[in-house]
Amino acid sequence: MPSTFVDTEITSQPQVWRLAAALAPDVAEAMPRPGERVAVVGCGTSWFIAMSYAVLREQAGQGVTDAFAGSEYPTGRTYDRVVAISRSGTTTEVVELLGLVTGPTTLITAVPGSPATEVAGTTVAMPFADERSVVQTRFATSALTLLRSSLAHTGDTGFALDALVADGAAALQVDVDDLLAAEQCTFLGRGWCFGLATEAALKTREAAQFWAESYPSMDYRHGPIAIAEPGRLVWSFGTAPEGLAGEVAATGARFVQHDLDPQAGLVVAQRFAVALAQARGLDPDNPRSLTRSVILT
Ligand code: F1P
C-alpha cells in the first residue's frame, strides 16, 4: 500500500499531542477564562472539535459554551469571547465571522499569518500540527488536546496527558482490517463524544466516500437504529448507554467499541477511514470534490 501523508499524520498524533499540551501554559491569556460565556466556531472537522470542547468546558463548570458552524453563528447574541478553530485560517465563514465580532476573539490555527490571523484578536498557532493531507486528522486532535489541557490548567478536569498519549499509541495498534467489509457505519457518542462521532463519520465520508452517519447515542433508538442490519457497523465512542450493545446485536449489526480515551478512539476511526479508502483504490490525501479549505469568492 503506498504511504500517504495522512498515514504519517495519523501516526504522529501521540507525539504532536504532547507539543500541543506543552503550549497550553504559554497561551493561557488567549484562552477562555473560567466564568466567561464562550462561543466556539469552525467549519467541518473544526466545528466538530468545537462541539466536543464546548461540552467539556461546560462539564468542567467553566461557563456557558456554545458551538456553531462558522456560517450559523447567531450574530444577535453576546459572548465574552469567540474562539475560532481553523487549520488553514483561510476558510471564508471563519474569516468573515472574526471580522464581524466586536468582542475578544481567539483563533486556533496551524498557519501563522493567514487571513484569519489578520482579523482575530489573538492567534494561537500550532504549525507543528499542520498537515499535507486535505483530510484533517492531527490538527483537529491537537487542537482538542490544547483545549483539554487549557481546561485542566484552570480547573480539575481529570485530564491526564500521559494516559491520553498512551491510549493514542494503543489506538495505532488496533486492528481495523476486520471492519473493512462493512457496507455502512453509524457512529455514536454522548456528551463530548458526540462531536467525535460526528467527526468520525465525516472522516469516512471524506476519505473513503463511505456511507457513515452519526447521532447522539441516546437518540439512536429514536429512528436511526432502523438502518442497522447484518453487514453494518454501529461504532460507539465513550461509554455506551445501558442495553444499547445488546439492542444493536439483535439487529445483526456489529457493535464496535474501544476501551480507550475517546479522543484516542477517534484515531482508530481515522485509521478505519484511510484503510477503507485504500481498499477502495482511493487517494485519502486528495478526496474528490474537496480542497484544503473552502474559500468562497
Ligand atoms: C475546514 C474544512 C475541513 C474539511 C475540508 C474543508 O478547514 O471544512 O474540515 O475537511 O477540507 O475545510 P479549516 O477551517 O479548519 O482550515
pLDDT tens readout for residues 247-265: 999 999 999 999 999 999 9
**Ligand 1 atom showing the smallest separation from residue 291 Cα:** 11
Express each pLDDT in 174-197 by its tens digit: 999 999 999 999 999 999 999 999
Backbone φ and ψ for 152, nearest 5 degrees, come out as -70, -25
**Strand order of the sheet with strand 81-86?**
65-69, 38-42, 81-86, 105-109, 122-125
Q: How far apart are CA 187 and CA 204, in angstroms?
A: 10
Which residues approach ligand 1 with their CB closer than 6 A?
43-46, 86-88, 91, 94, 134, 136, 206, 290, 292-294
Residues of the chain with pLDDT under 50: none
Query: Which atom of ligand 1 is least distant from the CA of 85?
Result: 15
Mutation choice for ligand 1 from 93, 136, 295, CB with most ligand atoms inside 8 A: 136
Closest ligand 1 atom to Cα of 91:
14
The pLDDT score that the predictor gives to residue 290 is 96
Q: Which atom of ligand 1 is nearest to the CA of 292?
A: 11
> What's the pTM?
0.97
Ligand 1 center–CA 201 separation, angstroms = 15
Output the pLDDT for position 145.
98
Residue corresponding to grid cell 439487529: 251
- pLDDT at position 77 is 94
